[in-house]
Amino acid sequence: MVLQTLDEEQAIKQAKLAARQVEQDKVLTAQLPPVIRALDFADGQTHAFSSDTLEIAYELRVPSGQPVERIEVLLDGRPLKAVALPLGQGPAPSSRTDKLSVAGLPRKDIELALIAWSGEQASEPARLKLHWAGPQLEDLLKPKLHALVIGVSDYVAANLKLDYAAKDAVDFSGALQGQEGGMYSKVEVKRLIDREVTREAIGDGLDWLEQQVTHRDIGIIFVAGHGVKDDQQTYWFRTRASCA
């Protein structure tokens, strides 16, 4: 410094000014708030989610070197939870990454915000715009439809053959499946046509229907083909191999 100024007194003044500037910079740095950034979530973009629990990776920078005690999570501007951070010995690292899990999210479009707190200093919020891509609530309330659909046109006995029974079963199955997402949240059809229609297959189909249908669902049995009544007036549906 003396060589630069060729004046010892002036060099001392400049050294003091430099030292004072360093101290001022330290004071200013110590007053800077923490900075938090959500990784994998681009600023200004909307991201889809389909679960009520979301894991968020974040980067935390601490210019002041002061410890960050907690991260506050806001849901649509309202406090949702606070995540306490462990406090280490000595100054906080200037930068680190970690993850936090947020549960209890509503099934709708929302905005989350992360705020890091160091004493009374709060970071600028890291905002996450989220679009609900899972099933809508009204879909969850709709019943499911389960149907056992049977049609026999090609009977073994020539005098029992029909023209449209199997086709009716196929068309009816298609009409039911077209209701998925409309009246019903889900449509499941077990269809037996012509050669598939045996006594065992029908029994298995009835067992399947009984297992699938709950008190909130709809169950349908559709049969197209020949039927007959016995002496007790009990109705019997003819399988493909039934005799005339």
**Residue finishing a domain among 132, 160, 195:** 132
Q: Look at residues 136, 134, 242 and name the one whose alpha carbon lies nearest to residue 194.
A: 242
Strands (E), 103-217: 110-118, 121-122, 126-132, 144-151, 186-193
Can you give the residue range of the structural domain that contains 103?
34-132
Helix/strand/coil (H, E, C) string of 88-111?
CCCCCCCEEEEEEEECCCCCCCEE
Give, for all 244 residues of the chain, the pLDDT tens digit: 444 545 566 655 565 555 455 455 454 556 789 999 999 887 778 999 999 999 999 999 988 888 888 999 999 999 998 888 876 555 556 788 999 999 999 989 999 999 999 888 899 999 999 999 887 766 667 899 999 999 999 999 999 999 999 999 999 999 999 999 888 989 999 999 999 999 999 999 999 999 999 988 999 999 999 999 988 889 899 999 876 5
E strand or H helix at 237:
strand 235-237
The reply to whether 242 falls in a domain is no
Q: What is the distance between the alpha carbons of residues 182 and 200, in angstroms, rounded to a whole number?
A: 33
| 167 and 114 together in one domain | no
| 99 and 52 together in one domain | yes
| 158 and 110 together in one domain | no
Q: Look at residues 223, 196, 220 and name the one whose alpha carbon lies nearest to residue 208.
A: 220
180: CATH:
3.40.50.1460
Question: What's the number of domains the chain is made of?
Answer: 2
The reply to whether 86 falls in a domain is yes
The reply to whether 176 falls in a domain is yes
| 45 and 110 together in one domain | yes
114: CATH:
2.60.40.10
Query: Is 69:119 a contact under the CB 8 Å cutoff?
Result: yes
| 61 and 111 together in one domain | yes
